[in-house]
Homo-oligomer: A and B are copies of this chain.
Amino acid sequence: MRMSRLLVRTLREAPADAEVASHQLLVRAGYIRRLASGVYTFLPLGLRVLHKVEQIIREELDAAGCQELLLPALHPIELWEESGRAKLFGTDSLPALVVDGRGGTFVLGPTHEEVVTVTVGAEVDSYRQLPVTVYQIQVKFRDEARPRFGLMRTRELMMADAYSFDVDKEAMQRSYQVVYDAYLRIFDRMGLQVTPVEAQSGAIGGDVNHEFMVPSVAGEDHFVSCPSCGYAANVEAAERQVAAAADERSADHPAPETVHTPDRAGIDDVVAHFDDPGITAGDLLKSLAVVDADGRPTLLLVAGDREARLPAGWRLFDDADFEAHPSLYKGYVGPTGAQDAGLRVVADLGVGRNGRWITGANRTDHHLVGVVAGLHFEVDEWGSFVEVVDGDLCPRCGGAVGLVRSVEAAHTFQLGTKYSDVMTGATAVSEDGVEAPYSMGCYGMGVSRLLAVIAEEHHDDKGLAWPVSVAPYRVHLLALGAARAPEVAGAADGLYERLVAGGVEVLYDDRDLSPGVKFKDAELLGLPLQVVVGAKSLARGVVEWRDRATGEERELALDEVTGALTSP
């Protein structure tokens, strides 16, 4: 492609809303343009990268035995009512756009579990036709509340989503592993170092699921990583070990002391009240009045220096809940007497570690000091209820874990029968003649988002530096001062023609611009190899040959360039 004809315009300045490098560089280099918040155009260079990424996905999924199809973007809302997910619309967990038309009300597919379940359901009746894994590469729509970071979080996105169908759970797990492995190969080919982490499933559902995370300073997520054993999990799903606690119940314990703490409702306020270097937030017990997933009023206890992590479906007390439990005073809630007040008590494992706590006294402006679990209050259930932090102990090996800032490149789910249980026709007859719902998996990667993820990992302060596998062109051919040096123009034109004829993807900067501008644009655009034809080197019969990523330079005889790029 001759750059003089290419629809590309490089910008000196990044747009004001571009906070991360990938966003800044993809816009500055003319790969993408913003049409509206979270809505982007792919200009020719950007679309070439998108197509390369899509092609890698196709090749690896096809090689793994998956079949490509194309499902509609317009989903009759009745299908979402059938699955029960229509009630999530408008919430952050499933921000779908819904449109009314002459044919009824349609959901603009944010994900395709419903549609694929009924589609495959209509085609497959017997175990003989299974396993089947289908995938599609298709535009998706999300009514995103806060689009951010360019292509990272958008309202319109290109996605590769796959769905597996099996006769039972064991077969599903095999199909899941096949796609999981293909995903790892896909990311490897794109030059991405991903870590699959155990995660929570959210609005998609199912049991086991993994997020494929790429460590990145532009990440909005963190995952917990154990350098010793390789354990990795999303912060929402991560577990930890807790050192065994001294059992304070065996000691000859005084009754808790009641302390007057006027206007000291927060953890930090209470610590300040004591004004004692020996008393820190970790000595206080945070008692959260919550309603659990089964609707039971519950006190959730975590150490005062930790962030509580509510399980899915749990919520904090609202005003009505507090009115129904008059013994609880906001800011001064504590576990003593909780069961008598009709509350379950659920505690984080860390609460066992410290035997003496400062807690709310269930009385306005008062706290208790020296409260011991099992002595002054009872715990009905223990579990992991805090966010894991740097230095916590790995649940597998006991080593110290760390938090890694990262972006999500893909997410895979073992759905089981969540959708096939409720959708029409989603059954197959097994080898034993029994008709049963499919066991399904679903798998998604944001194709357009991957451009941003790759750009985050492959750039420097001068611009992008694409891996060859996804670069829009392999070679950036620069002709320097060609307008005043016809021999340069002739040599560069000839080289360009030979490279194109040899099947090399080459972008030819034939513009009438200064060498400085051309070099700067070449660094910004980030094609893997720069070949520079200038008058001086040409006089010696050579060109410059420069690796964009490493900066390595060498000279090569002009007549050796085509051979070097076309030999296998």
- A69 engages B7 (CB within 8 Å): yes
- A119 engages B67 (CB within 8 Å): no
CB of A428, distance to nearest CB on chain B (Å): 13
How many residues in A have their beta carbons less than 8 Å from beta carbons of B?
A: 58
CB of A10, distance to nearest CB on chain B (Å): 11
A568 within 8 A of B: no
- For A116, the closest partner residue in chain B by CB is B41
- B156 engages A72 (CB within 8 Å): yes
Which residues of chain B are near A310, meaning CB under 8 Å? none
Which residues of chain B are near A255, meaning CB under 8 Å? none
CB of A47, distance to nearest CB on chain B (Å): 5
Q: Given A101-B143, A102-B145, A103-B147: A72 and B132 within 8 A (CB)?
A: no
Instruction: Count chain B CB atoms within 10 A of each CB in A40, A108, A156 and give the residue with the most.
Output: A108
A259 within 8 A of B: no
- B41 engages A72 (CB within 8 Å): yes
Which residues of chain B are near A488, meaning CB under 8 Å? none
- B39 engages A72 (CB within 8 Å): yes
CB of A76, distance to nearest CB on chain B (Å): 5
A404 to B141, CA, bound (A): 42
Which residues of chain B are near A43, meaning CB under 8 Å? 69, 123
Q: Given A76-B35, A103-B147, A132-B7: A70 and B42 within 8 A (CB)?
A: yes
A265 within 8 A of B: no
Q: Given A41-B119, A74-B155, A139-B139: A36 and B103 within 8 A (CB)?
A: yes
A403 within 8 A of B: no
A119 interface neighbour in B35, B74, B119, B156, Cβ under 8 Å: B35
CB of A451, distance to nearest CB on chain B (Å): 12
Which residues of chain B are near A95, meaning CB under 8 Å? 102
A159 to B492, CA, bound (A): 38
A104 interface neighbour in B36, B40, B104, Cβ under 8 Å: B36
A115 within 8 A of B: yes
A33 to B70, CA, bound (A): 10
Which residues of chain B are near A9, meaning CB under 8 Å? 123
Q: Given A7-B132, A76-B36, A134-B7: A70 and B47 within 8 A (CB)?
A: yes
A interface residues with partner B (beta carbon < 8 Å): 5-9, 30, 33, 35-44, 46-47, 50, 65, 67-76, 95, 97-99, 101-104, 106, 108, 115, 119-120, 122-124, 132, 134, 138-139, 141, 143-145, 147, 155-156
Sample of 10 more A-B contacts, CB < 8 Å, known A39-B74, A108-B108: A6-B67, A35-B72, A35-B75, A36-B74, A36-B103, A36-B106, A42-B69, A74-B141, A97-B106, A101-B155
